[in-house]
Amino acid sequence: MVSSRRNTTASLFLWTGLLLFAGLSLEPLLRMPASLFLYHPILMVGTMIFITEGIALLQAPTLPASAHKQRKTWHGYFQAIGLIVIEAGFTAIYVTKDRNNKPHFSTIHGQLGVMCVMWFTAQAIFGSILAYFPRLVGNISQKKQYWNWHRQGGYVLLGLMWITSQTGVRSTSMLALQRDPILINFHWLALGLVSLGLLLPSTL
């Protein structure tokens, strides 16, 4: 009998990495005065958790059809929440820069960030069409090809979002709030653990 459970070791690596990333990212914010900007890093940490877990759900190499269908449904829920949260986080930083008359997308982090928001939005729309309006995409062979594009696009997007998050935690404002500069290096450990959690049960 094929188990529909995720690899326990993979899940442990994944969630240890996600929690470490969240703790390292949010702890410096305790020294930041309350402001609209504060919502940006908090919401983006939430986005990373939702999108990463949403993809991890589908990483088990062998699943019964019923379990795979259920996980696809949960994948959609997690990604939908992640999309709402990333849009809110983007709005927070955009309005903050507007209010302070600062240029938009003037840093690598900002440029990668807006790319992620647009890509995530397009990815979510494409996935929703495949899931809920399959007749719009043609025959079975075309659907399989489109699902493959959606899957591969999701992997690339996830990688880009993690790169973007690493540029964010190393921004001038975030580095200035670090209790100890050495702590920033633990983000690499978090990223490594998340990567292991995604790759261990994967058929990539």
Mean pLDDT over residues 61-67, rounded? 73
Q: Encode pLDDT of 114-135 as tens digits.
A: 999 999 999 999 999 999 998 8
Q: How far apart are CA 27 and CA 32, in angstroms?
A: 10
Domain extents for the chain?
A: 8-199
- Whole-angstrom CA distances from 31 to 23, 27, 62, 123, 146 are 14, 8, 46, 36, 46
pTM recorded for the entire structure: 0.91
Q: Which residues contact 20 (CB under 8 A, 6 or more apart)?
A: 186, 189, 190, 193
Q: Which CATH architecture has domain 8-199?
A: Up-down Bundle (1.20)
Q: Tell which wins on pLDDT, 201 or 28.
A: 28
Q: Encode pLDDT of 77-101 as tens digits.
A: 999 999 999 999 999 999 999 999 9
